[in-house]
Amino acid sequence: MVYIGIDLGGTNIAAGVVDENAKLLSQASTPTLAERPYEEIIRDMAACALEAVKKANLTLDDVKAVGVGIPGLADSKEGRVIFCNNLAWHDIPMQEEMQKYIQKPVYIDNDATVAGYAESLAGVSKGCKSSVFITLGTGVGAGIVLDGKPWSGAHGVGSEIGHTTLVANGIPCTCGNNGCLERYCSATAIIQAARQAVMTYPDSAMMKMAGGDPQKINAKIVIDAAKEGDPAAKQVFGHYVEYLAMAINNVTAFLDPEMIVLGGGVSRAGQFLLDAVEGVRPRYLQYKTLPSPRIALAKLGNEAGIIGAALLGRQ
Amino acid sequence: MVYIGIDLGGTNIAAGVVDENAKLLSQASTPTLAERPYEEIIRDMAACALEAVKKANLTLDDVKAVGVGIPGLADSKEGRVIFCNNLAWHDIPMQEEMQKYIQKPVYIDNDATVAGYAESLAGVSKGCKSSVFITLGTGVGAGIVLDGKPWSGAHGVGSEIGHTTLVANGIPCTCGNNGCLERYCSATAIIQAARQAVMTYPDSAMMKMAGGDPQKINAKIVIDAAKEGDPAAKQVFGHYVEYLAMAINNVTAFLDPEMIVLGGGVSRAGQFLLDAVEGVRPRYLQYKTLPSPRIALAKLGNEAGIIGAALLGRQ
């Protein structure tokens, strides 16, 4: 038997067929066109999934279940999307709509959760019974895997590490709180700090890379400039890494998983990021001489969303 | 069959016999006299346990296992204490020593972990599959229960919520970091803030209650004065509650357990504390309209340590 995984994003829908061994057999994608009624979007998700099944030379008879990763909160028991900010969805009957096209069990979970689950099944944390995947993108999300299973909390509102307080009374966050972790550890945080820094250091390499327009500075530019030794970029990146090390320490001190996996846009800095984090991390560790979670870079990339969603149905 | 539970503290050893239903059948205690060699302390722990067995009119034939809660870190698989700061213990062969006197399997875990486990078996969080117990004492510890089992992390260094960063670059902590949660949420934090406050408000009721000596202000005095409406005490308590609400929100956003249980000295403020926390908590919740963990006061008190330790052997 195989599993359909659907990664629902604000821009694209990606679907794929995954076998029992977490191997991705086929893929298809289509634009989300997020402003449409949810019925149309879910219809296209189903069509995209059926295309992937066909590409794998299989039929629905071979499919055991459909899993969906969403950029929001799910009530997996009821098969409903509680909400997705990007799509302006509130209380959407995902399972009911999906089963109009594909009469299989439907599982739903948060996109960072399923990506973390995928890494634990087929990626860098494969074989770990417990792991925390942290996605460092526009925001910061997490995928918690405990005892080999994805954990979204007792009420489905967990794994939102981006909205834990890291700096009490700190920078205002989009969620209404202050000092949320994602205000310091996201790609957005790097970019904002860099735009600030070039006001003081207009000769920074970051400005040249951005064609003289601070608004064109992105996380890649900051990291590339830091790698080249640009002082302003190094400072921005260094501050970022300090906060990220605190975030990693918070996961270590509280949950202590076998592995902490870094994913999302900033993780594309690769070994440069990992070396920087490992460099400052010992300072934050409470038990410096004891074993603690290994830190690693995610390796499944965009496929993680499909693989993890698909295998929600294997549990 | 019954289980022996031993609560090893810096001052006292408490042992008890607990049945399959988490009922405490008998108790005994003896001073720790922490400066002695560990062999003597463990000998006394065993003697105390045997006394409790006798008090319950049972024999060792009725005992299935021995569980020990320690104020430190344990390697439960190897039956060793990794370390206990209070006792200046490092890598102590607890199981080996204990089995000189009681030839039963020996389980060891952190004291806050076993107390949280006990609450989930026989206390306020009974019936919850997931809970986080937070002990608000001299420091701040936690006991995480997931899927009905105590969770101390993959390397035994987890559940140390007191040493997660709540205020990046904040007040220096005993652990070497800055801004650790326990610097803001412990009884110690309330006391220090109150001693500071009475310098500005020497007429505060707290000073009268402390006989005019700021060094005699304890958490109970601050809470009693706040209950009576003393402005300085209300301010100190109000600030404390804000940080505690952030801490509770961090647990909610990251792990989202069914219940968050407050224990330790500060929790003796009872409903007054609970009402204050519930008053400010909605402000910090990310998903204000969705269900979230219930907050409750621990109810087993000192017995939690014995009951939780004992039932480590029932898993």
Q: Does position B85 have pLDDT exceeding 90, yes or no?
A: no
Claim to verify: residue B149 and residue B266 sit in the same structural domain: yes
Q: Token pair of A60, please? A: 């629905």
Tell me the residue ranges of DSSP E strands in chain A: 2-8, 12-19, 24-31, 63-70, 73-75, 80-84, 89-92, 106-110, 131-136, 140-146, 149-151, 259-263, 294-297
> Inter-chain contact A144–B284, Cβ cutoff 8 Å?
no
One-letter identity of residue A5: G
Same-domain check for residues A261 and A308: no
Distance (Å) from the alpha carbon of A57 to chain B's nearest alpha carbon = 40
Question: Does B174 lie in the same domain as B98?
Answer: no
Is the same domain home to A94 and A137? no
Q: What is the per-residue pLDDT for B311? A: 96
Side-by-side strand order, sheet with A294-297:
A149-151, A140-146, A131-136, A259-263, A294-297
Q: What's the CA gap between A26 and A54, in Å, rounded?
A: 9
Domain of residue A157: give its range: 127-297
A236, A193 Cβ separation under 8 angstroms: yes
Q: Among all residues of chain A, which has the CA nearest to that of B130?
A: A154
Residue pLDDT, tens place only, A5-39:
999 998 999 999 999 999 999 999 999 999 999 99
User: What gap in Å lies between CA B275 and CA B283, rounded to an integer?
Assistant: 14
Do A7 and A133 reside in the same domain of the chain?
A: no
d(CA A83, CA A91): 6
- How distant is the alpha carbon of residue B173 from its chain centre? 19
Q: Using CA coordinates, name the residue in chain A closest to B179.
A: A167
Among chain B residues, the shortest Cα distance to A257 is held by: B154
Q: What six digits make up the tokens of A118?
A: 């995928």
- Cβ(B31)–Cβ(B94) under 8 Å? no
Phi, psi angles (nearest 5°) of residue B42: -70, -35
**Which residues in chain A are closer than 8 Å to B82, comparing Cβ atoms?**
290
User: Is residue B315 scored above 80 in pLDDT?
Assistant: no
> Which of B167, B244, B286, B289 to mutate: most A Cβ within 10 Å?
B286
Pairing of strands B63-70, B2-8: parallel
C-alpha distances (whole Å) from A253 to each of A167, A240, B34, B152, B284 are 17, 20, 27, 10, 22
Q: In the numeric block, which tokens belong to residue B266?
A: 């500060």
Q: Find tokens 């390697």 and name the residue.
A: B75
Q: Do B73 and A163 touch (CB under 8 A)?
A: no
The A80-84 sheet, strands edge to edge: A73-75, A80-84, A89-92
Record: contact B290-A154, CB cut-off 8 A: no
Q: Tell me how many domains chain B contains.
A: 2
Based on the fold, state whether residues B92 and B183 are members of the same structural domain.
no
Do the bridges between strand A259-263 and strand A131-136 make them parallel or antiparallel, or are there none, so unpaired?
parallel
**Mean pLDDT in residue range B114-124:** 97
Distance CA B198, CA B204 (A): 6
| Distance (Å, whole) CA A218 – CA B237 | 43
CB contact under 8 A, B168 and A292: no
Shared domain for A78 and A37, answered yes or no, is yes
Collapse the DSSP code of B230 into the 3-class scheme (helix H, G, I; strand E, B; otherwise coil) and give the result.
Answer: coil
Contact between A6 and A45 under an 8 Å Cβ cutoff? The reply is yes
A186 and A87 housed in the same domain: no
- E strand or H helix at B202, and its extent? none
Q: Are residues A115 and A136 in the same domain?
A: no
- Distance from the B118 Cα atom to the nearest Cα atom in chain A, whole angstroms: 19
Q: How far is it, in rounded angstroms, from Cα B24 to Cα A259?
A: 38
Domain check: are A293 and A152 in the same one?
yes
- Alpha-carbon distance of A1 to B193, in angstroms, equals 62
Give the model's confidence band at B288: pLDDT under 50 very low, under 70 low, under 90 confident, else very high.
confident
Of the candidates B122, B42, B135, B98, the residue with the CA atom closest to the CA atom of residue B314: B122
Instruction: State whether A207 and A91 are in the same domain.
Output: no
Going residue by residue through chain A, which has 315 residues, state the pLDDT in tens, using 9 for 90 and above: 999 999 999 899 999 999 999 999 999 999 999 999 999 999 999 999 999 999 999 999 999 999 999 999 998 889 999 988 778 899 999 999 999 999 999 999 999 999 999 999 999 999 999 999 999 999 999 999 999 999 999 998 999 999 999 999 999 998 899 999 999 999 999 999 999 999 999 999 999 999 999 999 999 999 999 999 999 999 999 999 999 999 999 999 999 999 999 999 999 999 999 999 999 999 999 888 889 999 999 999 989 999 999 999 987
Report the pLDDT value the prediction gives residue B76, as an integer from 0 to 100. Answer: 84
Q: Tens digits of per-residue pLDDT, A115-128?
A: 999 999 999 999 99
Residue A235's contacts (CB-CB under 8 Å, 6 or more residues apart) are A197
| Cα B102–Cα B107–Cα B113 angle in degrees, nearest 5 | 140
Token couple for B113:
């972990």
A231-254 and A219-227 helices, crossing angle to 10°: 110
Please check whether residues B39 and B78 belong to one and the same domain.
yes
In contact, B131 and B116? CB cutoff 8 Å: yes
Which residue, among A109, A256, A281, would best test binding to B if mutated, counting the most B CBs under 10 Å from its CB? A256
- Within 13 Å, how many C-alpha atoms sit on residue B157's CB side? 20
The CATH code of the domain that includes B274 is 3.30.420.40
Residue of A142, A250, A287 lying closest to B164 (CB–CB) = A250
Q: What is the pLDDT of residue A85?
A: 79
